[in-house]
């Protein structure tokens, strides 16, 4: 397996290195995207494809009276996310589970917001995974997607050669699938680096 395939599903030693790198490397993207998400102190949050858990940590800070769950299908990601958030896990403010976003164990209508940072590139079953996010959100809840590869820079396509199974979506493609899953009120933000942030409501 090529090293960069660990971005799709971190595995083994390469995966452990990759989740640590992503915890640092995706910091700015998450800070940028989270500025657009309005949350109450007691919001219940889910981070899908949570990787090494750095963004779960940010969500715990943003919602000091809330609960944050994470899900990732990679055992390496789940172990790292649990380690990074062990304080919150020990007082039951945080749970990180191994599972596929397309078929989640979580109860319906429990989360105020769901986030997905740098992960929707790896969804062969994109519509099903968005339907699952829709199911677990409360009515009026928000789904936030943030991608460094926003689909407008041809240069970003180099990543699809390095990472097998990676697909870069344009905003209009994601919008169409999100609407098919039932979401409405789409907001699209882009920046000069070509990053994309999408917010939709249930
Ligand atoms: C590029 S990493 C991003 C990790 C983290 N969100 C971040 O910003 O650092 C993508 C993560 O999504 C996870 N992932 C991809 N597809 C998934 C799926 N269908 N269900 C659960 N996790 C998935 C991978 O295992 C990986 O940890």
pLDDT value of position 123: 84
Pocket of ligand 1 (CB under 6 A): 7, 9-10, 22, 26, 49-51, 55, 71-74, 77, 100-102, 117-119, 122-123, 129
- Number of separate domains in the chain: 1
What does the block give as tokens for 29? Answer: 């993207």
CATH number at residue 94: 3.40.50.150
Rounded distance from Cα 9 to ligand 1 centre (Å): 7
Q: Is-contact 96 50, C-beta < 8 A?
A: yes
Rg (alpha carbons) of the chain, rounded to whole number: 16
Q: Phi/psi zone of residue 118: left (φ > 0), alpha (ψ -120 to 50 degrees), beta? A: left
**How far is the first Cα of the chain from the last one, in angstroms, to the nearest whole number?**
38
| Probe target for ligand 1 pocket from 25, 51, 169, with the most ligand atoms within 8 Å of CB | 51
The residue segments making up the domain with residue 168 are: 3-201
Q: What is the pLDDT of residues 134-172, one digit of tens each?
A: 999 999 999 999 999 999 998 898 999 999 999 999 999
pLDDT value of position 1: 77
Bridge pairing between strands 184-190 and 196-201: antiparallel
pLDDT value of position 72: 98
Q: What is the pLDDT of residues 9-24, one digit of tens each?
A: 999 999 999 999 999 9
Which portions of the chain are predicted below pLDDT 70?
none
What does the block give as tokens for 6? Answer: 């660990």
DSSP 142-161: EEEEEESS-S--GGGGHHHH
Question: Can you tell me the distance from the alpha carbon of 27 to that of 34, in angstroms, rounded to the nearest whole number?
Answer: 11
| Nearest one of 99, 171, 98, 104 to 134, comparing CA atoms | 104
Angle between helix 12-25 and 27-34 (nearest 10): 50
Residue nearest (by alpha carbon) to ligand 1 atom 8 = 117
| Probe target for ligand 1 pocket from 72, 97, 166, with the most ligand atoms within 8 Å of CB | 72
What does the block give as tokens for 155? Answer: 């240069």
Rounded distance from Cα 81 to ligand 1 centre (Å): 11
Q: Is-contact 28 54, C-beta < 8 A?
A: no
Question: With 0-12 CB in 10 A as exposed, 13-18 as middle and 19+ as buried, what is 130?
Answer: buried
């Amino acid at each position: 397996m090529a090293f960069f395939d660990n971005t799709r599903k971190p595995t083994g030693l390469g995966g452990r290195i990759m989740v640590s790198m992503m915890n640092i490397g995706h910091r700015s993207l998450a800070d940028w995207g989270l500025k657009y998400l309005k949350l109450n102190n007691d919001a219940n949050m889910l981070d899908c494809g949570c990787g090494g858990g750095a963004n779960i940590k940010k969500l715990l800070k943003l919602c000091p009276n809330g609960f944050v769950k994470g899900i990732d299908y990679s055992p390496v990601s789940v172990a790292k996310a649990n380690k990074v958030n062990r304080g919150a896990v020990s007082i039951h403010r945080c749970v990180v589970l191994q599972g596929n976003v397309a078929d989640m164990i979580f109860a319906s209508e429990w989360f105020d917001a769901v986030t997905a940072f740098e992960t929707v590139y790896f969804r062969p079953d994109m519509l099903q995974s968005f339907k699952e996010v829709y199911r677990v959100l409360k009515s009026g809840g928000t789904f936030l997607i943030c991608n460094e590869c926003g689909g407008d820079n041809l240069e970003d396509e180099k990543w699809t050669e390095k990472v097998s199974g990676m697909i870069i979506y344009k905003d209009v493609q994601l919008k169409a699938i999100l609407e098919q899953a039932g979401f409405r009120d789409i907001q699209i933000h882009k920046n000069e680096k070509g990053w994309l942030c999408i917010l939709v409501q249930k």
